[in-house]
């Protein structure tokens, strides 16, 4: 598939078909991730696939503490801290399926990377490991789209329990937990954004 077709095809999907994902497609997507640029060429990235459904349930429910928030009052209470209406609309759609999407996806990928603890970070330069792991993640998401696969990048609020449960070495952090698979009913259409309002030449 042509590069710009893949970029246009890439979507965030939270509802999945039960169809299994072929191992060769997973391998190709992760290999595409490894081709991303990295700060100082370190590439400290590590991948864990949560394929066993029972172990995954324990991992995401008990240790990641992901949960579905379906009570409308609780959702609106959570949203009261936000002013942006677009953000509120997104959360109203996504909060009820945060756990469900991880339990129902054929595969869940945990992406780890090495970085100084945030409390010791004193400059944007020191966030380079975080920036580069997200380039790796986007390569993976684009490669999945090229394979007809889609997912959702879930950034944990607190991943300490999950890291311990998975036996991750000291110093590794979790950048994202990504449920993925074939979409149920196909990915949603996406509106086009105009470049003009974001493009500036020489100055604002």
Residue 132 has pLDDT above 90, yes or no: yes
CB 33 within 8 A of CB 134: no
Domain ranges across the chain: 15-184
Bridge-partner residues for 16, per DSSP? 183
Decide yes or no: CATH 3.90.25.10 for domain 15-184: no
Query: For the segment 41-94, what is each residue's pLDDT rounded down to a tens digit?
Result: 889 999 999 999 999 999 999 999 999 999 999 999 999 999 999 999 999 999
The pLDDT value recorded for residue 4 is 93
The pLDDT value recorded for residue 35 is 97
Query: For the segment 136-175, what is each residue's pLDDT rounded down to a tens digit?
Result: 999 999 999 999 999 999 999 899 999 999 999 999 999 9
Residue 191 has pLDDT above 80, yes or no: no
Q: What are phi and psi of 26, to 5 degrees?
A: -65, -45
CA-nearest of 36, 203, 10 to 132 is 36
Q: What is the largest CA-CA distance in the chain?
A: 55
SS3 state of residue 152: coil
Residue 190 has pLDDT above 90, yes or no: no
What's the predicted TM-score (pTM) here? Answer: 0.92
SS3 state of residue 155: coil
CB 64 within 8 A of CB 171: no
The pLDDT value recorded for residue 1 is 65
Question: What average pLDDT does this structure show over 126-136?
Answer: 94
CA-nearest of 116, 118, 109 to 33 is 109
Residue 176 has pLDDT above 80, yes or no: yes
């Amino acid at each position: 598939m042509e590069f710009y077709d893949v970029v246009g095809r890439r979507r965030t999907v939270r509802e999945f078909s039960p169809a299994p994902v072929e191992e060769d497609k997973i391998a190709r997507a992760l290999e595409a991730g490894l081709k991303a640029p990295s700060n100082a060429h370190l590439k400290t990235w590590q991948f864990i696939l949560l394929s066993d459904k029972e172990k995954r349930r324990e991992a995401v429910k008990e240790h990641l503490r992901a949960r579905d928030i379906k009570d409308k009052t609780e959702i609106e209470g959570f949203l009261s801290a936000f002013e942006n209406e677009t953000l509120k609309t997104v959360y109203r759609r996504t909060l009820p399926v945060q756990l469900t999407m991880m339990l129902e996806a054929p595969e869940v990928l945990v992406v780890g990377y090495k970085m100084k603890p945030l409390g010791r970070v004193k400059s944007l330069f020191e966030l380079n490991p975080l920036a580069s792991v997200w380039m790796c993640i986007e390569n993976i998401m684009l490669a999945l789209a090229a394979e007809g696969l889609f997912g959702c990048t879930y950034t944990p609020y607190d991943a300490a329990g999950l890291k311990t449960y998975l036996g991750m070495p000291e110093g590794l952090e979790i950048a994202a937990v990504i449920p993925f698979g074939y979409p149920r009913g196909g990915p949603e259409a996406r509106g086009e954004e105009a470049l003009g309002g974001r493009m500036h030449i020489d100055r604002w």
